[in-house]
Amino acid sequence: MLINGFITGLIMGGILSLPVLGVAVIYGITGIPNFAIGVIGVFGGFVTWYFISSSIGLAIAVGIVVCFIIGFVIQRVLLTPISERGGDSTLFFILTVSVGFVFEGMLRAIFPRPNISLELPRIGTINLGGFTVEGFKIIALVFAIVTLVVIRLMEEHTEIGKSWQATSQNLKLAKLVGIKTTQVFSIASGIGCALACVGAIFWGSLYNLQLSSGWDLGFMGFIVAVVGGIGNIWGGLISALIMGMVMSFSGYLIGGEWQSVILYLIVIIVLIIAPKGILGSERSL
């Protein structure tokens, strides 16, 4: 049972880690808390579902690209200008939640069935400690880790990545040395939303996607990111895995209804002890 719980925890943590990474990337680079990325990601999930009969690869690509563009445009047109004029967290909360509602409304209007499931091919099983697990379920976690590693490598070794780091560490100086910080912000936002979309696609494949899924993924993703140290992508991953374990084990031990209670109690306790999150962060909320 322990192993089973552990594996389930890995799976849930893995899926959760994608919107969490999305939040962390956006907040880490722009300093803007974006509460809409869950809904935007789910919107992308629905777009993928719409095209899935044509070609799975194409459908996924379209969903991700749509989310990237949405994230890019919202940042460029709405969030960056307001941030330049000195928006504060409360304003961004209200703004991004409103954007979330806009997309939820669009989902309602555009897609006839509010409860969908994505049929993605299963890739066979893997053997973990004597238990067979569907390889597919682990992929979300693998994807998150690979993304994280790629981001860190880019930050260390590529010009673009160094510009991201510089922008997040000192925005004014970044502009003064000639970094196109507006572009950096827009790309970060696009990537964050694209990651949320991948998370939604996995979620929709293993479970299902409903109108409320966007808020579930988005808010939970946000809170888990804060616990990890918002803006800290390693912290986000670790936090997501821990939360996945918590959800899994509390589900087994106490029963599903108590999952949320335990989860959020732990969030409160962690934040009292470490307000900047487990791994801390260059910024705290």
Partner 1 sequence: MNGIILQVTGLTAGYGSIKALKSIDFYAHEGEIVGIVGPNGAGKSTLLESIAGTVAASEGRIEFAGQRIERWSVLKRRQLGLMLIPQEENIFPLMSVKKNLEVSVILSERDKRESLIEYVYEIFPILYERRKQIANTLSGGQQRMLAVGIGIASNADVMLIDEPSIGLAPKLVTKFFETLNRIREDTKKTIVLSEQNIKVLNIADRLFGLEAGEMRFNEKKENLSREIVKDLYLGLLG
Give which of 16, 39, 35 is closest to 26, Cα–Cα: 35
Residue 179: strand, helix, or coil: coil
- Count of beta carbons in the 10 Å neighbourhood of residue 54: 10
If the CB atoms of residues 14 and 229 are measured against partner 1, the closer one turns out to be: 229
CA distance 9 to 128: 13
CA distance 99 to 82: 14
**By the criterion CB under 8 A, which residues form the site for partner 1?**
159, 162-163, 165-166, 169-170, 172-182, 282
If the CB atoms of residues 147 and 232 are measured against partner 1, the closer one turns out to be: 232
Give which of 39, 282, 3 is closest to 130, Cα–Cα: 3
If the CB atoms of residues 118 and 184 are measured against partner 1, the closer one turns out to be: 184
What are the structure tokens assigned to 207, written together?
């479970």
Contact indicator for 92, 79 with CB cutoff of 8 Å:
yes
CB of 170 to partner 1, least distance (A): 5
∠ Cα 73 78 80 (to 5°): 90
If the CB atoms of residues 60 and 179 are measured against partner 1, the closer one turns out to be: 179
Torsion sign (Cα): 147, 148, 149, 155? positive
Give which of 266, 228, 270 is closest to 17, Cα–Cα: 228
Residue 16: strand, helix, or coil: helix
If the CB atoms of residues 19 and 231 are measured against partner 1, the closer one turns out to be: 231
CB of 166 to partner 1, least distance (A): 5
If the CB atoms of residues 130 and 178 are measured against partner 1, the closer one turns out to be: 178
If the CB atoms of residues 147 and 281 are measured against partner 1, the closer one turns out to be: 281
Contact indicator for 224, 239 with CB cutoff of 8 Å:
yes
Backbone φ and ψ of 253, nearest 5° = -80, -45
CB of 165 to partner 1, least distance (A): 6
The DSSP annotation for 97-114 comes to HHHHHHHHHHHHHH-S-S
CB of 173 to partner 1, least distance (A): 6
CB of 145 to partner 1, least distance (A): 23
